[in-house]
Amino acid sequence: MSADNWKMLQASQLNDEIVNEIGVSSTVLLHTVVSNKAYGSYIKQDKWSDLKKSVGSRTCSIEVFEHAGLLTLDILLKCIFSQDSNCRTTSSQHPYVSSVHALTYLIAERVSCIPYHNDMVYNLSISGFKFRKALRSVHGYSARVIYERNQSLLQDGDVTLKRKNIDFLDILLTAKDEDGNGLFDQEIQDEVDTFMFEGHDTTASGLSWCMYYLATHPEYQRKCQEEVDNS
């Protein structure tokens, strides 16, 4: 994110005068975050309660990273695009989710495979073909959503004045600098892709390690449970 874009977003989110001009109050932003936290808690409990039933009283290891990754992707799609992927609770995956997963795997594969460090070798490989295909799918989806939201803004005006909750895309589309200039579509798409990729995988890793250490340290798990019960 460029320094100018970062300043623009800071102004749109934190400066009350500018925020009020685009019709987004800090109360609405907070309500959006809280609503999506509650949404994430709901889908997590619904899916993981089924996982717990399948395990029963047996003592065994459970691979949680995949579930945590689907959870963070689902929440990010809700927060960024207001899209319900339901990838945490349904067997069929959202096409955007499938492409993001494919890119995550292919990037890790390329890093671990020395010959793939060469661009020419990678571009001629099957993995290189799959990478380009998944990348086109991700960029195509975000570009389509941005275009449709832009058209909605042109036809219906500032939708942030009408909708109860706003998302990250609303903030990007309505952000203005001191001269009244907004972000270009490509800049908006770059910011969306950055938040999606940087946000879901690293957060899923952190959640997975957190759950691992809580599972191996019951005393701290009890303290966390007590804090949740008493909140």
CA proximity to 27, closest of 141, 164, 137: 164
3-state secondary structure the chain: CCHHHHHHHHHHHHCHHHHHHCCCCHHHHHHHHHHHHHHHHHHHHHHHHHHHHHHCCCCCCCCCHHHHHHHHHHHHHHHHHCCCCCCCCCCCCCHHHHHHHHHHHHHHHHHHCHHHHCHHHHHHCHHHHHHHHHHHHHHHHHHHHHHHHHHHHHHHCCHHHCCCCCCHHHHHHHCCCCCCCCCCHHHHHHHHHHHHHHHHHHHHHHHHHHHHHHHHCHHHHHHHHHHHHHC
Residue 25 to residue 89: CA distance in whole angstroms:
32
Band of the pLDDT at 80, cuts 50, 70, 90? Answer: confident
pLDDT at 119: 95
Count of the separate structural domains present in the chain? 1
Could you read off the pLDDT of 81-118 as tens digits, one per residue? 777 777 666 645 678 878 888 888 899 999 999 999 99
**Mean pLDDT over each residue of the chain, to the nearest integer:** 74
**What value does the mean pLDDT take over residues 62-82?**
81
Could you read off the pLDDT of 12-59 as tens digits, one per residue? 443 433 333 333 333 333 344 444 444 444 445 556 666 666 666 666
- C-beta neighbour count of 165 within 10 angstroms: 17
**When comparing pLDDT for 50 and 191, which is higher?**
191
Judge whether 156 and 23 are in contact, CB under 8 Å: no
State the residue range of the domain holding 90. 3-230
pTM of this prediction exceeds 0.75: no
60: left (phi over 0), alpha (psi -120 to 50) or beta: beta
pLDDT at 131: 96
Percent of the chain whose predicted confidence (pLDDT) is above 90: 19
